[in-house]
Structure 1
Amino acid sequence: MNQQHQDERTRIRQAMDRLPKRRGQHEFYERVRTETQQVPEHEQELRETIATLKKTIANQNAELQELVTSLTLAGAVLTHTMPTLPAPTPPPDNVFTLRPRPGLIPLGRFSRRLGPG
C-alpha cells in the first residue's frame, strides 16, 4: 500500500467517525453542538415548531374549556326555565291499550317469535 492509499483510508475512517451511528444519534448531535458551539439549524426549526404547536394546543384547550362552561351554563338555564311536564293522564274508558303478545320481540314492522314454533 502506498502513502496516498493509506491517507485516503484514514480520511474515510475519520469521516465515518463523524457520521451519526444508529445508537449514537444523540451523541452525534452533542458532538456537533460542542464543536460548533451552536445548535444545528434543523433542530432550531424543530424547537420553534414544537413551541408553536404547544401554544396552539394551549389556545385550543382554553377555547374548549370556555365552550364546556358555556354549554354547562346553557344546560342549567334550560333545565331551570323549562316547565315541568304534567303527569300523564290515564286513557279514557273507550280506549284499549295494545300490548305485545308474550314471546314476541318487536322488530319494527315485523316481529320474531321466541322459542320453537
Structure 2
Amino acid sequence: MSPAPDERDRIRAAMDRILGGTPQRSNGALTIVALATEADVPRDALTQRHLDLKNEFYEKDRARGEMPDSEKRLRRQLVKAKELRAQALKEIGQLKADNEALVGALHQVVMENRQLRLQLAERPSNGHVLPTQPRPSVR
C-alpha cells in the first residue's frame, strides 16, 4: 500500500497543531502515537516511511525546552520504582531483624527445654521423661 500523496503535509500540519497546543484529533500528547492520530496516518508512517518527520517532531519538541511526555512519564515511573525499592529494603531489614529475634527466642526455648529434661532425669523415678521425638505407631 503506497502512502497518500499528502501524507507528509498532513504530518507537518499535525506537528504544528500539537506543538502549538491546538490538537484537533488527538489528545495533544507529545508522542508519535498522538502525532499519527492527529495527522490521520498509521503509526508506521512515522516509524518506517517518514523517520525524518518523526525526528523533526522530537527535535522541535526539545527545542521548545520542554521535556517530552514520554520522558515525564518515565521519570514518574522511576521515582515510583525508587520509592518501592526503598520500602522493600526497609521491609527486608525489618524481616531480617525479626528473623534474628525469632532464632534467638528459639535458641532460648531449646536451652530451657534441655535444662528441664536434665532436671527431670535427675529426679527420683516417680516421673517419666517424655521422648524427644514421637515414636512410630505400631499397626
What TM-score comes out, normalization by structure 1 length? 0.46
Greater Cα radius of gyration, structure 1 or 2: 1
Greater relative contact order (Cα 8 A, min sep 6): structure 1 or 2?
2
Q: Which has the higher strand share?
A: 1
